[in-house]
Amino acid sequence: MENAGGVEQPKRYVAIFYVLAAIVLAKFFEKIGALIFSYARFNDATVLVEGWTLSTLFGFAVAAVLAIVVWRIPKTQAVSLEIALELKRVTWPSLRETRASTVAVVVASFIAAIVLGIFDFIWGRLSAMLY
């Protein structure tokens, strides 16, 4: 890993993200391929092993090529590494802080729901009296 300003660039995490993104895109392109094959009335035959069809191969091939091409673009790779580096520098909240914030959000949501419920009840009664 390269060193930038005394902090290692997390290339491994970026590469793992690209692989996971490629898998998600592969499933998406698989569904698109299956849709195209069904509209074209083309047999989406099983190849290799059970469950692997032509649309599966199409989806994974397109996603793999796309991931490699995007990774090879220097600007994209640099931006991805910078984002990962910034995320590494983030000070994440502790479990205690996260719990306290979650409780505060739930209580505030509950209070807002009660206030809006009261307004809705009053508005409903006023509307019923006027109409």
Which among 16, 14, 22 has a CA at the least distance from the CA of 76? 14
Lowest mean pLDDT among 46-55, 61-70, 87-96, 114-123: 46-55
Longest CA pairwise span in the chain (Å): 73
Digit-coded pLDDT (tens) for 20-39: 999 999 999 988 888 888 88
Report the pLDDT value the prediction gives residue 9, as an integer from 0 to 100.
61
pLDDT band at residue 51 under the 50/70/90 scheme: confident
Tokens representing 87 are 């995320």
pLDDT band at residue 7 under the 50/70/90 scheme: very low
Residue ranges of the domains in the chain?
1-90, 93-131
Which among 66, 71, 45 has a CA at the least distance from the CA of 56? 45
Q: What is the pTM of this model?
A: 0.60
Whole-angstrom distance, CA of residue 29 vs CA of residue 59? 4
What is the residue-wise DSSP string for 46-112? B-SSTT-BHHHHHHHHHHHHHHHHHHHSHHHHHHHHHHHHHHHH--PPPHHHHHHHHHHHHHHHHHH
Average pLDDT along the chain: 87
Digit-coded pLDDT (tens) for 99-113: 999 999 999 999 999
